[in-house]
Amino acid sequence: MSAPKDPATQIAAADPVEQAVWKALRTVEDPELPVSIVDLGLVYAVSVEDGEAVIDIILTYSGCPACDLIVMDAEKAVQAVSEVETVTVDIVHSPPWSFERVTDRGRHRLNQHGLTVPDGEALRDPECH
């Protein structure tokens, strides 16, 4: 399976209802980091057809103890979109998540919290406070 496109490209290509779903997902944070699951690159796909929203999410690693929380938070956020009637969140396993999926905004947020995101061979310096 080929890698999903980055969130910005996917959001730009989405229809208005799907864009609203992406916006709702942006409010869902990883329970262990104050960063949106969209900016961490965990949302692989969003589709809405006839009010049925289907979201594909990957976990940063399979033992992630926050799995159920992320799924519940995502369902709740998307359910609040007025055009959405049902929400299905599928945990996917391929292609593997990597740091390359983290958006610039996500990198900035992680930097602000003192975490450096590996970026190819060069590592960015975290902002230390």
Partner 1 sequence: MSLDELTTANRTAVLEFLLALADDDFVAGHRYTDWTAVGPTLEEDNAISSMAQDELGHARIWYDLISQHHEGNIDDLAFNRPAEERRNSVLLEVEHEDFAYAIAHNYLYGTAEKRLLETLLDGKVDAVADRAEQILDEEPYHREHAESWLDRLVATEEGRDRLESAFRDALPRAADLFTFDDERVTQLMKAGVFTKDPVILDQEWNAEVCERIADLPLGITVDEADELLSQPPERNGRAGEHTDHLTSMIDEMHADNLAGEHPISQTLRT
Which parts of this chain interact with partner 1 (CB under 8 A)? 1, 61-65, 67, 91-94, 96
Residue 94: CB minimum distance to partner 1, A: 4
Residue 3: CB minimum distance to partner 1, A: 13
Residue 54: CB minimum distance to partner 1, A: 16
Among residues 17 and 45, whose Cβ is nearest to partner 1?
Answer: 45
Among residues 36 and 60, whose Cβ is nearest to partner 1?
Answer: 60
Looking only at Cα atoms, what is the longest distance across the chain?
A: 48
Angle between helices 67-79 and 16-26 (to 10 degrees): 140
What distance in Å separates the CA atoms of residue 32 and residue 17, rounded to the nearest whole number? 29
Question: Which amino acid belongs to residue 119?
Answer: D
Residue 68: CB minimum distance to partner 1, A: 10
∠123-125-129 over CA atoms, to 5°?
A: 155
∠3-72-62 over CA atoms, to 5°?
A: 45
Among residues 93 and 124, whose Cβ is nearest to partner 1?
Answer: 93
